[in-house]
Chain A
Amino acid sequence: MAVGFVQERERIIRQQQEAIRELSTPVLQVRERLLILPIIGVIDPQRARQLTEQLLRAIRANRAKVVVIDITGVAAMDSSVANHLVQTVEASRLLGATVIVTGLSPEIAQTLVTIGVDLSEMATVGDLQGGIEEAERLLGYKVLPFEELTPKA
């Protein structure tokens, strides 16, 4: 009786953990062939793996050409996570998508330079706005205010 109760609880906890993990890595399409992957919170190796998997699947499904990974919400990053990020970028490239990483905090920039992770292959832009602007440039979009589109009377 007591064992069954504990097992049931364990099952619910596992289910909820799974739900949190699913929710924590949304891949969003903002334009035709442009995806955004905002990452918030701590990245552990398991989450990093899941993140890569979901991103690659989404690139396939949406035929994405450019992906913006925004890590503004990530407080810290160690070498294993950084290397995983580099691998994700590499894998995306093989699927035909260019990855732009945005929102590196000064702390993360400092850590990465100090521990000497080679990020020269990775395109990084300061913030999400800059990243989307760069992605639009790569895709050939140009965003204009409405007044400039309508001919002046």
Chain B
Amino acid sequence: MTLLLTPSTESRGSPDPEAGHYLIASIQSALTDADLSQLREALIERVGRFRARGVIVDVTALDVMDSFAVRTLRDIAHMARLRGAETVIVGIQPRWRSPWSSSASR
């Protein structure tokens, strides 16, 4: 399950108008490959709809991360960049080191 948070009232009323909106995707439990693809579609669509300048993906709650998940996260980052938003991935755990370093992540 993934919690998709769209631009909050705080970010909309932020003092700096240049700051823009950002999206937060908080992954709450293990995701299947289909879930991940769906998350990717949803995020990329919302980047355009909300004119987001940033995307935060929180993966703290995940126990394992396979190569598909890593690739999907990398694709999210690249696609969001093409649509005008930077991506920050938070909560990467040290024990996932091998899949991250083996697949060419940005």
- Which residues on A are within 8 Å of B, measured CB to CB? 102, 104-106, 108-110, 112-114, 119, 124-127, 129-130
Whether A104 pairs with B51 at a CB distance below 8 angstroms is: no
Do the beta carbons of B75 and A126 come within 8 Å of each other?
Answer: no
Q: Taking the nearest CB of chain B, how far is it from the CB of A49, in angstroms?
A: 23
Tell me the residues in window 65-99 of chain B with beta carbons closer than 8 Å to chain A beta carbons: 75, 78-79, 81-85
A106-B44, A106-B45, A109-B44 known; A124-B51 Cβ under 8 A? no
Q: B44, B48, B83, B85: which has the most chain A beta carbons within 10 Å?
A: B83
Shortest Cβ gap from B17 to chain A (Å):
10
Task: Tell me, in angstroms, the Cα distance from A124 to B84 when the chains sit together.
Answer: 6
Chain A proximity of B3: nearest CB distance (Å): 21
Checking B41, B75, B84, B85 against A113 with a beta-carbon cut-off of 8 angstroms, the contacting residue is B75
B79 touches A126 (CB 8 A): no
Instruction: Please state if A126 and B83 are interface contacts (CB–CB under 8 Å).
Output: yes
Task: Flag whether B23 is at the interface (Cβ < 8 A).
Answer: no
A153 to chain B, nearest CB (A): 25
Is B47 interfacial (CB-CB < 8 Å)? yes
Pairs A–B under 8 Å by Cβ, sample size 11:
A104-B82, A106-B45, A106-B83, A109-B82, A113-B75, A113-B78, A113-B79, A124-B84, A126-B47, A127-B51, A129-B51
Q: How far is the CA of A126 from the CA of B86 in the complex (A)?
A: 11
Apart from A114-B75, A126-B51: 7 A-B pairs, beta carbons within 8 A:
A102-B84, A104-B82, A106-B44, A110-B44, A124-B83, A126-B85, A130-B84
CA distance A126 to B54 in the complex (A): 11
Query: When A106-B45, A106-B48, A126-B48 are in contact, do A112 and B82 touch as well, CB less than 8 Å?
Result: yes
